[in-house]
Amino acid sequence: MDAKTRDDLLGLFQSKLNEAMHFYLETCTRCGVCTEACHVHASMGQVRYIAAYRHEIIRRLYKKHFKARGKVWPSVGESKELTEMALDELYEAAYSCTGCRRCMMYCPFGIDTQMLMSIAKLLLIGANAEPETLTMLADMSIEKGKSIDIFKEGFINGLKRLEDEVVAKWRQEAGEAVIPVDVEGADLLYVALAGAHSIIPAAAIFNAAGEKWTLSFFEAVNFGAFVGDPTRTKLILDRIVNEALRLKVKEVCICECGTAFRVMKQLSGKHPFTVSSITDVHARYLKEGRIRLDKTKFNVPITYHDPCQIARNGGVIDAPRYILKQLTDDFRELAPEPAYNWCCGGGGGLVALGEDTLDFRMKSSRVKVDQVRGTGATILTTACENCHTQLSNLRDHYKMEVDVTFLSSMVADALVPA
Ligand code: SF4
Ligand code: SF4
């Protein structure tokens, strides 16, 4: 690596060194409490997948380049030079970590592995060594934000083809838009994923609840966050923020996408609208008596996988349970409790990398399979697209006898007149 490249990368490293990051880098006592916390280590048993081992790569670079002792005595103090080989180690650490933050729950100091891995991801971007696919997908989202007028008409025509399926789930009163778009003054802006599965059930439920809603032109997923690029993350986020401001909505509701929800909730700053997950919104409709569900629709044991970015990292834990209790008398909790739930193994961009990560995702998530099997449930439902894909892959790979579903689809299928 030439001196200029290294200096540029160290500049990026420095840009991440806020107070919290200094604390995380200075504090680890190597107590080992986090050893069993990571699903990757628990499933594969390799030292390199222990959370503290991942941190150590970052910490040694920090000691070498930002601490006096490491600079003066490079061979002492376990410091590490930023080299091509170090970049390879950073890649391995960052892209085998889903950013689920389960290890943080166990660490007595609350050291945040996802934050530390954000340094690794930023250095990889600076060195053009990040997974290209994620950057490409992020750039496509950004381009769409710049040229909305080009695709508006095609998008609206595409929605018309979904209307019959929405009405099949919930009949529509005459004269009402089945899938409203671009409605200024709507109460709620719904931000879906690309695909009918994210729009049809949601539309049926909004219509059943009599919501004054409008569908966003943009998809919720934020590939900038997956690849750890703060600039791209913000540009993708801003498309939705600007649309919400333009339409003067009171609430932005994020579909079943954990990262999109957490990024919108925690990184979008202060705005005149609130941010909610679709699970929160459905629980609210049930509590307010705006929708009602047929409890006999699914007469089998059901369990629920809490998406890490929605539950542990986003605080949405009670809402899905409230919904599930209206859906079934046989809801079976996964053990351990929700805040300590095992990650499905698909986050951090791993599912978005598709077949390239499939073998690793299957091997690194064996504990998830054992956890689901332990419930005896035959429906495994969740509220995140990434989790749904990963859990479906796990079901196929490990021949699990469960249907993997989206919670919102179950709600839409069980709607009865309120
Ligand atoms: S954040 Fe999750 S995947 Fe990453 S080290 Fe911690 S437990 Fe493992
Ligand atoms: S639990 Fe925390 S302090 Fe202990 S080894 Fe893990 S990261 Fe370090």
Note the pLDDT tens digit of each residue in 26-58. Answer: 999 999 999 999 999 999 999 999 999 999 999
Q: Are residues 178 and 145 in the same domain?
A: yes
**Closest Cα to atom 6 of ligand 1:** 103
pLDDT at 74 over 60: no
Q: Which atom of ligand 1 has the smallest separation from the CA of 348?
A: 3
264 lines ligand 2 (CB under 6 A): no
Ligand 1 contact via 97 beta carbon (within 6 Å) = yes
Instruction: Name which residue sits closest to atom 3 of ligand 1, judged by CA.
Output: 97
Q: For residue range 284-334, what is the model confidence (pLDDT) as tens digits?
A: 999 999 999 999 999 999 999 999 999 999 999 999 999 999 999 999 999
Among the atoms of ligand 1, which is closest to the Cα of residue 54? 5
- In this structure, the answer to whether residues 156 and 281 fall within a common structural domain is yes
Tokens 């059943």 identify what position? 208
User: Residue 63 belongs to what domain range?
Assistant: 3-129
Backbone angles phi, psi at 317, to 5 degrees: -120, -45
Of 381, 365, 376, residue with least CA distance to 401 = 376
In angstroms, the CA 267 to CA 246 distance is 19
Q: What is the 3-state secondary structure (H, E, C) of 111-148?
A: CCHHHHHHHHHHHHHHCCCCCHHHHHHHHHHHHHHHCH
Q: Which residue has the higher pLDDT, 398 or 1?
A: 398
| Same domain assignment for residues 111 and 194 | no
Residues 165 and 275 reside in one and the same domain? yes
Claim to verify: residue 176 and residue 245 sit in the same structural domain: yes
| Mean pLDDT (whole number) for 158-181 | 88
Which of residues 129, 151, 167 is at a domain's end? 129
- pLDDT on residue 122: 97
Q: Give the residue-averaged pLDDT of 148-162.
A: 90
Residues 279 and 184 in one domain: yes
Among 287, 304, 324, which residue terminates a domain? 287
Residues 141 and 279 in one domain: yes
Residues 88 and 233 in one domain: no
pLDDT band at 77 (very low <50, low <70, confident <90, very high): low
Binding site membership of 115 for ligand 1 (Cβ less than 6 Å): no
pLDDT at 71: 59
> Which domain-ending residue is among 264, 287, 310?
287
Average pLDDT over residues 258-281: 95
> What is the chain's length?
418
Indicate which CATH number applies to the domain containing 276.
3.40.50
Segment among 97-106, 152-161, 167-176, 238-247 with least mean pLDDT: 167-176
| The total number of structural domains that make up the chain | 3
Residue 161 sits in the same domain as residue 274: yes
